[in-house]
Amino acid sequence: MALLEIRNVTKRFGNFTAVDNISIAIKAGEFFTLLGPSGCGKTTLLRMIAGFDAPDGGQILLDGKDLAGLPPEQRPFHTVFQSYALFPHMTVASNIGFPLKMAGKTPAEIKTRVAETLAEVELTPFADRYPHELSGGQKQRVAFARGLINQPRLLLLDEPLGALDEKLRENMQRELIKLQAEAGVTFIYVTHAQNEALALSHRIAVMNQGRIEQIDEPSRIYNFPVNRFVADFIGKINLLSARVLEVSAAHLKLTVTGLGEVTVPVSGHVKAGDEGVFAVRPEQVRIVAQSPEIPIESQLLGKIKDFLYIGDVTTYIIALSNNTLIEALLPNSVPGHAKLFDIGDPVVVSWQEQSAQFLPD
Ligand code: ATP
């Protein structure tokens, strides 16, 4: 049985539907992420799980029991916010021990558990400091520790790393993965940052306009997006309008604007005549210099139109013969070279058939 089951949940504000008939089953021990653009309803859904708001339709069940009517403080959950929400007049140790105090534990027990938790999050030397004497990352670690000390059935996290800079975020992501695995607590994590969702989650629900577009493991979301929205929202991708010409057991033959006829693996339920997009990730696009040894008729020819060097990789924009643009991402693995090609260089563009996809409209 799922630990938490969200069953056909809907939430309206006036005549605007913020969460539209969403169903998700979350397993015990999962790191589950709600991912989507700003305003897609992530926080609204999280607030209903926490019990701050009531759904207008549907049910939320914990261990199969409907939580309707149960106030937030009676749910065995804890919420961690981006703003940390630490008590400014309490030390780190008192902040972390607060949930135990509220639960009526003895001072001796609180002391022992706080000491253990401080050690887990590597904050032992900071026990007597106040929040204003901590860095952003340290404050967030205190918030996580306070969230985990009572071993909630669910830890709800709303953009908890949103206020941290890029480098610190990456460190905190690694810490969060470790903390979650060690604590064995089920996490529901809200973010609009695709990379963060991919890096942290066991499964991701991609949301758009109050609905779920896809629920899957990160690598499946990235490699096998079910539609154009998911493909476009997660990472970078070339999307060229296409129509299905033929469907066989393993392949689809497409006609693609700017590329002509192309075959891709069969995906989903499509039939001849369907309109959609041909999709291929920039890191799957290969480019080599045009040369007489390569038989021209079997290749797509183009010219480098522009490039963007960002250190570890360079993105090339290639203009194909009819001016269709396609992006290729190449690692800068040759030491000291910022780029392999220059603007105007004639190139041959290719990709492996299995790395491309047809996504219906
Ligand atoms: P963000 O990433 O920006 O936090 P989100 O996906 O968490 O976005 P929500 O905060 O859930 O989005 O909001 C979903 C939609 O519902 C938005 O259009 C928002 O304006 C609207 N909304 C949220 N709360 C209320 C409210 N109390 N009254 C009216 N509209 C609301």
- Statement: residue 339 has pLDDT above 80: no
Q: Is 38 in the pocket of ligand 1 (CB under 6 A)?
A: yes
What is the domain count for the chain?
A: 3
Residue with tokens 């609009």: 192
What is the Cα–Cα distance from 344 to 290, expressed in whole angstroms?
12
> Is the pLDDT score of 34 beyond 90?
yes
Contacts for 32 with CB less than 8 Å, ≥ 6 apart: 24, 26, 186, 187, 188, 189, 201, 202, 203, 204, 205
Query: How high does pLDDT run on average in the chain?
Result: 91
Q: Please give the helix or strand (H or E) that residue 38 lies within, else none.
A: none
Q: Indicate the residue among 202, 223, 244 that finishes a domain.
A: 223
For position 337, what pLDDT does the model report?
A: 65
Q: What's the pLDDT score for residue 142?
A: 92
Closest Cα to atom 27, ligand 1: which residue?
A: 13
pTM for the full predicted model? 0.89
111 and 162 co-located in one domain: yes
Does 358 reside within a domain? Answer: no
Q: Give the pLDDT of residue 156.
A: 95
In a domain, 228, yes or no: no
pLDDT computed for residue 322 by the predictor? 78
Does 44 sit in the ligand 1 pocket, CB within 6 Å? yes
For residue 318, being part of any structural domain is answered with yes
Residue 297 pLDDT class (50, 70, 90 cuts): low
260 and 139 inside one domain? no
* pLDDT computed for residue 209 by the predictor: 96
Residue 128 confidence (pLDDT) above 80: yes
- CATH code of residue 302: 2.40.50.140
116/217 same-domain check: yes
The preferred substitution site among 42, 158, 159, 211 for testing ligand 1, maximizing ligand atoms within 8 Å of CB, is 42
Is 291 within a domain? yes
Q: Are residues 165 and 48 in the same domain?
A: yes
Ligand 1 neighbour 11 (Cβ under 6 A) = no
> How many other C-beta atoms are found inside a 10 Å radius of the C-beta of residue 271?
9
Residues 113 and 241 in one domain: no
Residue 10 CB burial class (10 angstroms; 0-12, 13-18, ≥19)? middle
Q: Are residues 160 and 75 in the same domain?
A: yes
6 within domain boundaries: yes
For residue 52, the model assigns a pLDDT of: 95
Q: Are residues 102 and 152 in the same domain?
A: yes
244 with 253: CB under 8 angstroms? yes
pLDDT digits (tens, 9 = 90+) for 250-269: 899 999 987 888 999 988 78
Q: Is the minimum distance from the CB of 13 to ligand 1 under 6 angstroms?
A: yes
Predicted pLDDT at 83: 77
Distance of alpha carbon 67 from the chain centroid: 27
Q: Which of 208-212, 331-335, 352-356 shows the lowest mean pLDDT across its residues?
A: 331-335
Q: Are residues 151 and 296 in the same domain?
A: no
Domain holding 330, by residue range, is 282-352
pLDDT band with cut points at 50, 70 and 90 for residue 12 = very high
Taking residues 347-359, what's their average pLDDT?
A: 91
Does residue 294 carry a pLDDT above 80?
Answer: no
Does residue 47 have its Cβ closer than 6 Å to ligand 1? no
Taking the CA atoms of the chain, what radius of gyration do you get in angstroms? 25
229 domain residue, yes or no: no
Domain of 157, CATH number, reads 3.40.50.300
**Single-letter code of the amino acid located at 285:** V
Which whole-number Å values give the CA distances from 268 to 28, 176, 252, 324, 359, in the listed order? 30, 35, 11, 27, 9
Residue 260 lies in a domain: yes
Q: What is the pLDDT of residue 115?
A: 93
Could you tell me whether strands 31-35 and 16-26 are parallel, antiparallel, or unpaired per DSSP bridges? unpaired
Can you list the alpha helix ranges (DSSP code H) found in the chain? 42-50, 92-102, 107-120, 136-148, 166-183, 194-200, 218-223, 228-233
With respect to residue 271, please indicate whether it lies within any of the assigned structural domains. Answer: yes
Mean pLDDT of the region 271-299: 83
- Quick one: 299 and 155 in the same domain? no
143 and 19 in a single domain? The answer is yes
Question: What is the distance in A from the centroid of ligand 1 to the CA of 119?
Answer: 37
One domain, residues 316 and 243: no
Banded pLDDT at 312 (limits 50, 70, 90)? confident
Question: What pLDDT, in 10s, does the model give residues 46-67?
Answer: 999 999 999 999 999 999 999 9
Domain match, 90 and 219 both: yes
